[in-house]
Structure 1
Amino acid sequence: MTTITRPRATTRRRQRARTSTHHQAAYPLWFLLPAIVIFTVLFLVPTMSSFYFSLTRWSLFDIEFIGFENFVTFFTEPSLSRSLTNTLVYAVLTSGAKVVLGMGLGVLLTSQIIGRGYLRNVVFFPVLVSVVGVGITFSVLMNPTEGLINQALALVGISGPAWLTDPTLALISVALVDIWKGVGLATLIYIAGIVSIPQEYVEAARVDGAGGVKAFWYVTVPLLWPATSTVIILSLIGGLRTFDLIWTMTHGGPGFSSDVLASVVFKQYQAGFYGISTAGNVVLFVVVTAIVLPVSRFLSRKEAEL
């Protein structure tokens, strides 16, 4: 009896263990199912549909397959293709400025200065304000004749430029407002990164004879690389996808001088060119993916090397 019972008991234990392992492996998958369904319905299906409709001339009642004609029109029409250049310039300009200013303000606002808490609130406050509200406010402030900015410059004998009506300045003017509004978030990220740096590293650098500048460059900056990576990725994505501030302040004008991909897509929808606008959406998706993914991988590799 003993020689028969033991193998059976062992077999049962093994079966229970396999069943338990199977349940443990399958159990978390049920938690993933709602997320997979939502991701499929809200992202995959619309994305695949956009790729298809970008190859058609469509309206609410008619669809005609025309191949890559919408993309050819998009890249051969100067007013449309210029929006791609403007998008890249805008994203690089705003991202670079937020990194530099955010790091500088982060260092300043973690030092022992008077009113540090108040200054932190002042820097972060624009992040909380509505983008549309900021755009309307600065449209008034940057008015070339009645705007407060040019009136203030006139008091010191400077003739203010036509911020939003000069084709060479419109995009840069909107970018400056974007930087003003978004630098608070970058500063907050850098403050969190600076506070987490152990002071022993800075003290060791000073013992070795490094001054304030060298300690900052060789100790603080490398240790802030995770914060820098976060700011770059967030700023790039926001800059490439920008629409609301551009539309509120300039409507893409004067002419097409400040048009970006998102504003061109909206204009084409308004005009009834749904196929071209969908093609613009696809171009925007490809541009964001083609830029952000390699940059993210490069930043991750650099962070691993440090």
Structure 2
Amino acid sequence: MTHIDLDRPTTVTSEAPAPRRPRWSARSRRDFVVFLAMALPNLILIAVFTYRPLFANLQYSTLDWTLGATTARVVGLDNYVEFFTSDDAPRVLGTTAVFTICTVGLSMVLGMFVALALNSRVRGTTFARAAVFAPYVLSGVGVGLVWMFIFDPGYGVLSWILKGLGGKSPEWFNNPQLALTMITIVYVWKNLGYCAVVYLAGLQSLPSDVMEAAAIDGAGAARRFWSMSLPLLSPTTFFLLITTILSSLQAFDLIRVMTPLGDGTSTLIYESYLQAFGAYNRAGYSASISVILFAILLIITVVQVRFVEKKVHYA
């Protein structure tokens, strides 16, 4: 039996606490200085050339200001009220929606089919990939001028072909609906290569062992595409959906070159340009349209990231 001496004091030993590392040690300060040296120039450039114009545009949108005038009158939200209550709002918003939906949908669908064709292992695919992507890197002004010659109803290439077939070239530039169709065709042609190359990269990153196993099990090419390739390409589709929508909503150069008056092709960004630099010189009203476009871009991006991304399969 063990006896315990109650009169003898007992000592309780405990481990000494680990020394706390100083929050701002010499190494932490050195790393922070390196971070500032690398990031601060970029942050300054972003603040000066992105956020400063953004907040300045918000201020201008509350002014009744003629471009070039030295004075302006504060009108608050009157510019926004005027736009949404005017007859131009349904036309401009409708044109923007139709142009964006058509260009994004056609670019992505056709880009997918082109990528499937370019993914084949045959001779000449390297040249074909370069040829498909080349229009995307060309100047929008140059592309617009070339296609104006093609669509010209008097001496254009398309008119010559239609006359040879016994037909007549439509008045692409005088009919607002045909003008929007013309701009959509040219924009899809120019940006098709971007979607095709991105989809091609996604197709080449798919796990080959999974595809080979499905083929051995008897799944045909169409079944493999719809049941396996397309779901696995959802991150690529999500990326293209965001970038192509943002790009289409900001399309300007082709519209400016091919339809300078914006008859039937006046989207939000081009309407903002016409109000500021056209016959109106209404810089304040133009700024309010730009803010509306910015709000639409922000809402679309947030909705896509918040809700559409949930359907994306990253695994």
So what's the TM-score if we normalise by structure 1?
0.88
Bigger helix share: 1
Task: Find the aligned partners of 1:18 and 1:249 in 2 and give their Cα distance.
Answer: 60
Runs of 4+ with >4 A deviation: 13-18
By how many angstroms is 1:95 displaced?
Answer: 0.8
1:284 corresponds, among 271, 278, 293, to 293
Q: Is the 8 A contact 2:116 2:200 kept in 1?
A: yes
Task: Find the aligned partners of 1:98 and 1:15 in 2 and give their Cα distance.
Answer: 55
Q: Hey, what does 2:73 align to over in structure 1?
A: 64
Is 1:45–2:52 an aligned residue pair? yes
- C-alpha distance after superposition, 1:263-294 (max 9, x if no partner): 11111112211111111111111111111221
- C-alpha distance after superposition, 1:171-201 (max 9, x if no partner): 1210110000000111111111111112111
Q: Which moved more, 1:16-25 or 1:26-35?
A: 16-25
> Which runs of 5 or more residues in structure 1 are unaligned?
1-9
Q: Report the 3-state secondary structure (helix = DSSP H, G, I; strand = E; otherwise coil) of the residue aligned with 2:307.
A: helix
1:263 corresponds, among 249, 266, 270, to 270
Q: Report the 3-state secondary structure (helix = DSSP H, G, I; strand = E; otherwise coil) of the residue aligned with 2:206.
A: coil
Q: How does 1:153-168 map to 2 (within 5 A)?
A: 153-168=162-177
**What CA RMSD, in Å, does the superposition of the two structures yield over aligned residues?**
2.3
Is 1:140–2:149 an aligned residue pair? yes
Aligned residues: 295
Q: Is the 8 A contact 2:62 2:284 kept in 1?
A: yes
**Aligned pair in 2 of structure 1 residues 45, 53: CA closer, same or farther (>3 Å)?**
same
Task: Find the aligned partners of 1:39 and 1:18 in 2 and give their Cα distance.
Answer: 28
- C-alpha distance after superposition, 1:179-227 (max 9, x if no partner): 0000011111111111111211111112222111001111111121222
By how many angstroms is 1:127 displaced?
Answer: 1.4
Is 1:183–2:173 an aligned residue pair? no
Give the fraction of aligned pairs with identical amino acids, expressed as a percent: 30
1:102 corresponds, among 84, 98, 111, to 111
Structure 2 counterpart of 1:153, one-letter code: L
Q: Hey, what does 2:215 align to over in structure 1?
A: 206
Q: Hey, what does 1:23 align to over in structure 2?
A: 29
Task: Find the aligned partners of 2:242 and 2:106 in 1 and give their Cα distance.
Answer: 13
Q: How does 1:74-153 map to 2 (within 5 A)?
A: 74-153=83-162
By how many angstroms is 1:43 displaced?
Answer: 1.9
> Which runs of 5 or more residues in structure 2 are unaligned?
1-15
Structure 2 counterpart of 1:84, one-letter code: L
Task: Find the aligned partners of 2:60 and 2:23 in 1 and give their Cα distance.
Answer: 51
Q: Is the 8 A contact 2:232 2:314 kept in 1?
A: no
Task: Find the aligned partners of 2:173 and 2:305 in 1 and give their Cα distance.
Answer: 33
By how many angstroms is 1:229 displaced?
Answer: 1.7
Q: Hey, what does 2:6 align to over in structure 1?
A: none
Structure 1 counterpart of 2:274, one-letter code: K
Q: Is the 8 A contact 2:115 2:200 kept in 1?
A: yes
Q: Is the 8 A contact 1:252 1:260 kept in 2?
A: no
2:201 corresponds, among 192, 207, 215, to 192
Structure 2 counterpart of 1:47, one-letter code: L
Q: Is the 8 A contact 1:58 1:275 kept in 2?
A: yes
Q: Hey, what does 2:310 align to over in structure 1?
A: 301
Is 1:35–2:42 an aligned residue pair? yes
Q: Is the 8 A contact 1:123 1:184 kept in 2?
A: yes
- C-alpha distance after superposition, 1:71-108 (max 9, x if no partner): 12212222354222211211111111111111100010
